[in-house]
Amino acid sequence: MQKLAACFCFKARVSEFRKKDHNDIQISEPPKMERSTFNDNKSHSEKPTGIMIKREEGTRANIIVNHDFSKGLDSWHANSCEASVVSGEPSCGQGLSAFCNGNYAVLTNRKECWQGLEQEITGKVVQGRSYTVCADVGVSGLLHGYVDVQATLKLENKDSATSYLFIARTSVTNYQLGKLEGTFTLENLPDRIVFYIEGPSPGIDLHIKSVVISCPTASDFDVKKSTGYVRDDEGNIILNPVFDDGLNNWSGRSCKIAKHDSMANGKIVPKTGKFFAASTERTQTWNGIQQEITGRVQRKLAYEVTALVRIFGNNLSSAEIRATLWVQAPDLREEYIGIANIQATDKDWVQLQGKFVLNSAISKAVVYLEGPPPGTDILLNSLVVKHARKALPHFPPRIENSALGVNIITNSAFIDGTNGWFPLGNCNLSVGTGSPLILPTMAKDSLGPHEPLSGNYVLTTNRTQNWMGPAQIVTDRITLYLTYQVSGWVRVSSIVGGAQTVNVAFGVDDQWVNGGQVEVVDDTWHEISGSFRIEKRPGKVMVYVQGPAPGVDLMVAGLQIFPVDRRKRFKYLREQTDKVRKRDVILKFTGSDSICPFGTFVKVRQTENTFPFGSCLSRSNIDNNFFVDFFVKHFNWAVFGNELKWYWTEPQKGKLNYKDSDDLLNFCNTHNIKARGHCIFWDVDETIQSWVKDLNKNDLTTAVQNRLTSLLSRYKGQFQHYDVNNEMLHGSFFQDRLGKDIRANMFKTAHKLDSSPILFVNDYHVEDRCDLKSSPEQYIHHILDLQEQGAPIGGIGIQGHIDNPIGPIICSAIDKLGVLGLPIWFTEVDVSSSNEYVRAEDLEVMLREMFAHPAVDGIMLWGFWELFMSRENAHLVNAEGEINEAGKRYIDLKQEWLSMANGHVDEEGHFEFRGFQGKYEVEILGHFGKVSREFYVAKGTSPIVIPIDL
C-alpha cells in the first residue's frame, strides 16, 4: 500500500504570549504501576499489578488464530517477504529484551513498506460491530530514529476493486516493544477480509509478538479506584477523569486546584458524576488545571478531546476557555498546540471539543485548560482524551434537476412590477426605468439562456435602517451544495457624506450570509457580484439587497442568482491552459544518424512541471517522515507558517530565536525547494508583540530597523520572495505610529539589505468581492501609492482564503491587477466545505483559474493536513494520513499538467510536440536498443528548439 504524508500548518505558541519558565509548575506524577501484558489465554485469576480486570462471560473472544505464535506460523502468511518464529530466550543478549518471554514472528527480506504478516479473518467479523485491535510489535535494523508500524485490513470483492482500511499506527525504534492499538467497524462485509501488519521501510525487519482482535462489551474493563486509572470502552487516556479519586494525577499550572461536589450555595453542581475541580488563584491567563499524559499519547495518531467546563467569579458572565497541549521534544524544544476553545459562561456547563495530532517524538506531554482573565476560576467536570474515531465516509452530493445557469430570482427584470418582491422593513418599493440593458460582465460568460435586460429597476425609498431594501423568499429554489453566482446592477441616490456600501445578503434561518458587495463611489450604476452556498437544509432562505445609509434611496436592476456550471468553465480553462502554460517544442537530434535515423520511434515523458506549486510548513512537520515524503513529492516551493514572523523570531525584546527558521530553511535547501519569506512585518494590531506596542516612537523606529537588519542580513540571498508588510489593507499599526512613509521605507531598506528577493505586498479577500477593504480597485490604489513613494514592489500576493469560489469573479480580479504588469502569486490558498467532494470542486476551481491565467506566476497552499490548518474542513489529507477527495483532486490536476508524447523522427531529424514547462526525459527506441536523454523546457510562448546530442 502506498503511504501518504502531508503538511501540518501548525499553530504553535511563542514565549511572548505565555510564561515559558516552568520551574514554578508542579506536575503530579501518575501512580507507579507495574507494566503487565495480558491476553485471553490467561487465567481469570491472574491480575496485573495495579489494574483489576473484570471479565464478563463470553467477552473478548480473540478471532486471531495462533495469536502468540506458540504454534509457529500456523494460520499466518508472509506477504511477499520471509517469515520465521523465534523463541524469545536466545535473543535476550541481542538487544531485544522486550521479546525475551515467549515466541515472536520475524519478517525479513522486506523490499516494500507494505510487506509484512497477514491472516485471513473472513467469516469471523460481524457486520456493524466494533472490533478492538491490540498487537505488540517491534523492529530491528533501523539505523536511527523511529519508524511506523501499521495495522490494516484488506477488503476484497469479486465485482469491485480491492480496498484497504487503516486501523492503527504506532512509532517504535530498535529493540523497543510498541503497542499497536485501534478499532474498526465494517458496515458492509466484503467477500474476503485479510488482516495484516506492515509499515517499516524496506530493509527493516518487523517483529510481532502477539495479536488480539476482539469485540468488547460495555464492561470489558473495570477500575480499581485506588490507582485512579480509568480505561473504559472509549479508551480514555486521562487518569481519574471525573475526580472520583480526589485530585490524584491532577495539578495546577501555577495556580491552586480544589475538588468540589457543589459551589455557590449549591447553585453549581456537577453535570455528570459526583465531583468537579476548580482552578483558583489564577494570576495569568495561562494558569489552569493540568495532567501529564507522557507515555499515553503516540505520534501520528489523532486524539479527540472532550471536556465539560464553566467559569466562576471575577464578576464575569462569559470568558473563553482553551484546551492546550504542551509538549517537550527530546532536545528540549517546546511546542504549544491549541486543541479547542469555547466561550464558557457562569450559568451552565458547556462542552469543549477538539482534536490534535503529534508530529514528532516527545519526552513530555501535558494537557491543560487556560484562557479566562486572571482571577476567574476555571471549573472542570470531566475530561476525555481518546484515539479519535474515524469520520463517516463522504459521498458526492446527490444533485438532480439543478438547472445550471438558470436564474432563480422571480421577476428579476421587473417587467411585472414588483410581483415576487416585498420590502424588508418599513420602506417602499416602486419600479423605474433607465437601468443598464446589458448583463454585468462577470455574469455574461456563465449565465445560461436568458432574456435581455428590460431597463427596469426597483427603487427602494423611505429607508430608515441600512438593512432595508427589496427582498424575495427563495427557499424552495435552493439546492444544497450547489454554488450560486450572484450578479446585478446597483445604484444609490446620493453619496453625500462618503461612498455607500451595497450588499446582497441571504437570511438563512437565523443566520446572515454575505452574497457579495460593492462600494458605490458615485451616482452611476455599479456591478455587484459574489457567491453563495448552503450545506445544511434550511427552513427559510430570503435574499435581500441592503447597505446604504438610512435616507439614501437604493436602486437594483437585473439581479441574477444562478447555480454555476463548473464543468463548462473547466472545459474553457483547459483550452486557456494549453495556450498559456504550454509551448511548441522541437527536439533536434544530432550526433549520430545511425542511432536516430528517419522513422526512429521516440517517447517523451515529463518528469516535473516546474511551475511553482507550494505549501506552508512548520518546524514540527519536518520531524514527520510521512510529511516529508509527501511534501517533497508534490511541492517545489515552501513558505513558513509562523517561524519567520517577528513575534516568533523575537518574542521578547533582544531575545532572538532563529533556530526554527534555520531548520526549515535547511530542509528546503536539502530537498531543492525554494522558499518565500513570510513575513518581515505584519501590520495588523493583534499580531504585534506587547513589547513592540509599548515602545515610544523613537524606540519603535529603532526596533523596525533592527528587525530589518537582523532578518535580511542573516538570510541574505536565501529567500526568493519576502512579504514585506503583511495585510496593509486590513491593518495600519506601523503607519499609525510612525507615519505614512514607514511602509515605503520598509521596502526600500529591505531591498538595500538584500537585493535578490522579489518584494511583495500580500493581502486577503482581494479576489472574492466579499470585503470592502480589499477590492481589486483598492489594492491597485494601495500599490500605486507605495510605488509613488519609491517602494520597489516586485510582486502582488493574493492570499486566496476563499469561500464558494466562482471562476469569472476570480478571473476578473486577476485581470484588473494584471494591468499593473507585476507577477501575481496566490500565496495562501485554502477552500472549505464539510463535504470533501464539494471541497475538491472548490479547489479545482481555484487551481484551474490560477494556472490558466498568464498573470499568475505561482500558487501556494496554506497547508493541507487536518488539524494543522487555520480553517476547518479545508484539509486535503485526514489527521492520520489518509488522503481525501480534495487531496486526490490536487494530485490528479498535477498529473494532468504533465506532458507525454510519442511518435517518429522526421526526415530532418526532428520530433515535435507541445508541452508544459519543466523537466523531460526522451527515449530513442531502435534496433540498437534504447537511448535516454534529459532536457528542459523553459517558460515561454514561442516555439523552442532543443538539441539532443546522441
Out of 198, 370, 828, 866, pick the active-site residue: 828
Note the maximum CA span of the chain. Answer: 100
Cβ atoms 70, 227 nearer than 8 A: no
Distance CA 728, CA 731 (A): 5
What is the C-alpha to C-alpha distance for residues 490 and 527, in angstroms, rounded to an integer?
Answer: 7
Distance of CA 121 to the CA centre of its chain: 36
DSSP E strand boundaries for 751-874: 758-763, 795-798, 801-802, 824-831, 856-861
Starting at the earlier edge strand, list the strands of the sheet with 554-563: 428-433, 456-461, 554-563, 484-492, 526-532
The C-alpha cell that represents 330 in the structure block: 527530546
Contact present, 267 and 73 (Cβ < 8 Å): no
Asked if residue 162 lies in contact with residue 154, where contact means CB atoms within 8 angstroms, the answer is yes
Non-local CB neighbours of 57 within 8 Å, separated by 6+ positions: none
* 828 belongs to the catalytic site: yes
| Contact assessment for residue 876 and residue 883, using Cβ atoms and an 8 Å cutoff | yes
CA-CA distance, 327 to 343, in Å (whole number)? 25
Strand ranges for 727-843 from DSSP E: 758-763, 795-798, 801-802, 824-831
Q: Show the DSSP H helices in 610-740 as ranges.
A: 625-634, 646-649, 659-670, 690-693, 697-714, 733-738
Measured on CA atoms in the order 513, 518, 523, 527, is the torsion positive or negative?
negative
Cα–Cα distance for residue pair 483/45, rounded to 1 Å: 63
Radius of gyration of the chain (CA): 32
**What amino acid occupies position 508?**
V
List Cα–Cα distances, 851 to 231, 311, 379, 612, 779, in angstroms.
51, 50, 52, 10, 21
Count of Cβ atoms closer than 10 Å to residue 511 Cβ: 10
Residue type, 566: R
767 contacts: CB under 8 Å, gap ≥ 6 = 776, 798, 800, 802, 809, 810, 813, 814
Q: Strand ranges (DSSP E) for 173-241? A: 178-185, 192-198, 205-214
Which residues does 476 contact at the CB level (< 8 Å), separation at least 6?
Answer: none
- Sequence-distant (6+) residues with CB within 8 A of 699 are none
Nearest C-alpha neighbor of 619 from the set 87, 14, 26, 142: 14
Question: What residues contact residue 902 under an 8 Å CB cut-off, 6+ apart?
Answer: 601, 602, 603, 604
Strand partners, 471: 422, 544
The one catalytic residue in 198, 292, 727, 849 is: 727
Contacts of 924 (CB under 8 A, 6+ apart): 589, 595, 596, 600, 601, 602, 930, 931, 932, 933, 950
Contact criterion met (CB below 8 Å) for 77 and 255: no
Q: Establish whether 727 is a catalytic residue.
A: yes
- CA 749 – CA 753 distance, rounded (Å): 6
Provide the grid cell at 871: 480553517
Backbone conformation region of residue 313, classed left if phi is above 0, alpha if psi is from -120 to 50, else beta: left
Residues pairing with 859 in the sheet: 613, 826
Cα–Cα distance for residue pair 577/897, rounded to 1 Å: 9
Burial class (CB in 10 A: 0-12, 13-18, 19+), 315: exposed
Residues classed as catalytic: 727, 828
